[in-house]
Amino acid sequence: QKEVEQNSGPLSVPEGAIASLNCTYSDRVSQSFFWYRQYSGKSPELIMSIYSNGDKEDGRFTAQLNKASQYVSLLIRDSQPSDSATYLCAVNRDNYGQNFVFGPGTRLSVLP
């Protein structure tokens, strides 16, 4: 079992819809969780970080964390064509960076 798993996609949603991206992780001691967006040919950029169970909202983005189920998700409301990118889930198993593990990414396509 891979440490961090994501559906590779592509996930296609129409413009204005809600895009739901999912991530599961295997290490129960993981403490912090991140969503990065990566446009083709560009570097990953941070969208959200989440550390506690529940929801965290930032604009059109909502991250959801359920440590008991080892599951973290990202919802994008009112999806725009500019949201089309690959979304990387990352998990840090402690407070120090050497235990960062990235998922393979989910490619999202928002159709006009």
Partner 1 sequence: DAGITQSPRHKVTETGTPVTLRCHQTENHRYMYWYRQDPGHGLRLIHYSYGVKDTDKGEVSDGYSVSRSKTEDFLLTLESATSSQTSVYFCAISNPGLKTDTQYFGPGTRLTVL
Tokens encoding 101: 């593990």
Distance in angstroms (rounded) separating the CA atoms of residues 35 and 49 = 6
User: Contacting partner 1 (CB under 8 A), which of 17, 27, 71, 104?
Assistant: 104
Is residue 90 near partner 1 by the rule CB under 8 A? Answer: yes
Which residues make Cβ contacts (< 8 Å) with residue 10, sequence separation at least 6? 107, 108, 109
Is residue 111 near partner 1 by the rule CB under 8 A? Answer: no
Is residue 105 near partner 1 by the rule CB under 8 A? Answer: yes
Is residue 42 near partner 1 by the rule CB under 8 A? Answer: yes
Is residue 18 near partner 1 by the rule CB under 8 A? Answer: no
CB of 49 to partner 1, least distance (A): 6
